[in-house]
Each structure stands twice: as C-alpha cells, then as structure tokens.
Structure 1
Amino acid sequence: MTSGGRELLKWIALVLMTGDHVLTVFGLGYVPVVSELGRVAFPVFALVMAYNLAQPGADAGKSARRLALWGLVATPAATLAFGQILPLNVLLTFAAAAGGIWALERRQWALVALLALVAPVALDYAWPGVWLVLTCWRWHRGQGGQPWLVWGCMGLLCLYNGNAWALLAIPLLRLGHVDVAIPRLGRVFYGYYVGHLAALSLGAAILV
C-alpha cells in the first residue's frame, strides 16, 4: 500500500466511526447504511496499523506508548459518551496490539500472553480486535503468518459484532494502493478521537 493510500483509508474509517458513534451516543438505534458502515471502521484501522508496524524500521514500542497515553486521555470522554467504563476504548485495544507486537519481536512470551490473552477481556473488540492486528502483522512480516489466520480473526470479529459487515473492509483496502498525496497526521487522529467523544457527550447532555 502507498503512504497516501493508507492515510486515505484512515480518513474514511474516521468518518465511518464518527457516524457510528453519533448513533450510539444519541441513542438513535439502527439507521440503515450508517449502522452497517460503522462496523467497517475498526477492521480498516486495524489492518492499516498492522501494515504500518510491519514496515522496516517501525517502532511498535513507541506506537504502544503513544496509543496507551491517548487511550488513557480518552477514557473519561469515552466513559461519558458510552455510559460505561468497560470495555475500555479502542485506542487501548490498539495499544495492547502494538505492545503485543513489540513483545513478539523480542520473544517475551509472558508479555505476549498478558496482552493477547488476558488484557482483551477489558478492551473494546476484545480478543478478535487484538488478534486481528497481530495476525495481519505476522502475515505482512512473513514470519509464519498465514492468510487463513487473518480471515479467522475477521470471522471472530464478525461474531463479536453479530453481523458480517466488517468484511467490507477487505475490498475497501484496495483504496490503500491508490497513489494520492495525503500527509500523515497521526496525532490529529488521536486528538480527534478524544475531541469528538467529548463533543458528542456534551451534545447528548444538552439535547437528549
């Protein structure tokens, strides 16, 4: 995938995620198209993240620390937005996945088990979410990963969601190969995640 193509996918996923969160926070229930497309956001983010961390020179430890920090910052806003602290927000899911990759690279199996088997019980998208990133990363790295493991995790994600709409992320990934000039704005995505949850919480408190 191209750098610009990956950024394009992330912007698309951000829009889909926002629509899904609007429905959830304002208690609007099922809305055709918006509800379905909301299930596509997470796997797109996950698959792009796995691809990025599989590139030479990628620093999974740095990514894990950054995601964990932003995930902690987002926790109050996510708690207000969704009315519960558990499962912990998706940034912490991605932090666990990045930490698991860092541990796999160093063969720290106890830490791998903690992040991939224990921690997901408290995280959004649980085990399918963390495992999808890990299996896709291993596949891209050519370290014994197999496509069927990625597909298996996609299947588990569909079971978690209660529908198969997440599979739309697979054809959507073709856009990642488009050669477009979109700069990388990683911190903008983190800030947006926190900010939009806070704004939605405020809006719901006023209007609902």
Structure 2
Amino acid sequence: MSGQDVAVHAPLARGTLSSGARELLKWIALLSMTGDHVAKVVFGGYVPVVSEFGRIAFPLFALVMACNLAQPGADLGKSIRRLSAWGLVAQPLHMLAFGYWLPLNILLTFGLAAAAVHALTNNRQLLLLVAGGLLPFFVDYQWAGVALVVLGWIAFRHRAWWLLAFGFGGLCWVNGNGWALLAIPLVLALARVPWAVPRSRWAFYLYYVGHLAVLAAYAQWLR
C-alpha cells in the first residue's frame, strides 16, 4: 500500500471521518435525496440514474450520523431532541408531498437510532426494546435503517468494520437492489478531506423541511 493510500484510510483506521468529509458527504447525500424525491413526486417515481443515485443518500446520512455520535463528548440527548422535533415538523409536509403518513420520514428514523445508541450507552434495555425493536416499524427504512446507524456507531467506536456488512445487507434487502453499496467507495474516497468544509448544523434541517414544502406544494397543485 502506498503512502497516499495510508493517508486516505488513516481516519477510518482511527475510527473516524474528518470533519470536512462528514460535511461534504452530508451535502452529497442531500443532493442524492433531493433527486430521488423529485423523481418520485414530479416524474412518477423513477428517473434513470437519478433514482439509482438516490439510493446512496440514506447510507451516507447514516454513516455520517454514526460517526458524529461516536465522537467523544457527543450529546446524544440533544441529537434525539433535535431530530425528533424537526422530524415532527417535517412529517405533515412529507405526507402532503408523498401522499402517505406511514412510514414516517427519515429524521424520525435517525431519532430512533440516536435513542437506541443512547440506550446501549446507558444500559437501558427497555428503551432499546422500544427504540430499536418496536417503533422502527413506523419509520422509513424500518429496522434496517436504525440498525445501520447503530452498527455504524459500534464500528466507528471499536473499528469493527465487518458489522457494516450486516447493516448494508439489510438496507439492500429493503431497497430490493444493491445501489446503496456505492456509498462505501465514496466514503473511503472522501474519508480524509484535507480542506475545511463549513459546518451548517441548522441548514440541513431547514433544507430538509424546505424541499418537502416545495414538493408538497407541487403535489397539491397537481391534485
């Protein structure tokens, strides 16, 4: 392995992704998700390449979140509250855009995943049963989505990367295809972004709610 290869994979060897990588991956995921949602609402469900590219959105979000939760001093309680609050705000718009209440939007999926991580960290078995065993039935990507975040969190904390095979396997099963696997080489390629990407904590939530509002307005106009 060359020196450059070692440098690229060093952040994963240390059990983390650079701050710049996390921010860049998050925006790539947002772009991927937006294309997928536009394909569903505006073009009847499928647009070649765009829809396939959309399958990398969730695993990118999940791995970035898992890495963030694995950072020393991560405030799990704040993550749970923030994701839950924004997820509840987004849900009516999600319903108007896509025409259904269930499954609930991915912010609530990630809220449950953060709660499951909190339960594991604090040995709260009842909370783990509820957040990881019962409530995923109601959210997008269900148990596979929550599991990918939780397994990613364990992987980043303990460098047990083999666990991600189970997470991605479940996700591909839910999707009915293997396009989500394209997220893996993308994460490896950007694991050590050498430049600072400005952090935009609130912009992500505002964008998510805003793009759903636009899609909801379009869907209601068509009807």
Q: Into which bin does the TM-score normalised by the smaller protein fall?
A: over 0.9
Residue 152 (structure 1) aligns with? 166
1: CA distance, partners of 2:47 / 2:174: 19
Q: Judge conservation of contact 2:96–2:219 (CA < 8 Å) in 1.
A: no
Residue 67 (structure 1) aligns with? 83
1: CA distance, partners of 2:116 / 2:202: 21
2: CA distance, partners of 1:60 / 1:66: 10
Structure number, greater radius of gyration: 2
Residue 190 (structure 1) aligns with? 205
Residue 161 (structure 1) aligns with? 175
RMSD of equivalent CA atoms = 1.3
2: CA distance, partners of 1:164 / 1:62: 33
1: CA distance, partners of 2:214 / 2:195: 31
Unmatched runs of 5 consecutive residues or more in structure 2:
1-16
1: CA distance, partners of 2:197 / 2:167: 29
Residue 196 (structure 2) aligns with? 181
Q: TM-score, normalised by structure 1?
A: 0.95
2: CA distance, partners of 1:52 / 1:59: 10
Residues 133-185 of structure 1: CA distance to partner in whole angstroms, max 9, x if unpaired? 0011012112xx73332111101100100100000010110213112221111
Residue 31 (structure 2) aligns with? 15
One-letter code of the match for 1:10? K
Q: Judge conservation of contact 2:96–2:220 (CA < 8 Å) in 1.
A: no
Runs ≥4 residues deviating over 3 A: none
Residues 97-136 of structure 1: CA distance to partner in whole angstroms, max 9, x if unpaired? 0111111111001101110110110010000100000011
Q: Judge conservation of contact 2:32–2:54 (CA < 8 Å) in 1.
A: yes
Structure-2 change in CA distance of 1:31 and 1:187 (3 Å): same
Residue 39 (structure 1) aligns with? 55
Q: TM-score, normalised by structure 2?
A: 0.89
Q: Which of 20-29 and 30-39 deviates more?
A: 20-29
Q: Which of 27-36 and 164-173 deviates more?
A: 27-36
2: CA distance, partners of 1:66 / 1:196: 18
Residues 16-44 of structure 1: CA distance to partner in whole angstroms, max 9, x if unpaired? 00000001112433211101000000000
Unmatched runs of 5 consecutive residues or more in structure 1:
none
- 2:222 matched to 1:171? no
Q: Which of 19-28 and 192-201 deviates more?
A: 19-28
Residue 70 (structure 2) aligns with? 54
Residue 133 (structure 1) aligns with? 149
One-letter code of the match for 2:169? G
One-letter code of the match for 2:20? G
Q: Judge conservation of contact 1:8–1:176 (CA < 8 Å) in 2.
A: no
One-letter code of the match for 1:167? L
Q: Offset at 1:93?
A: 0.2
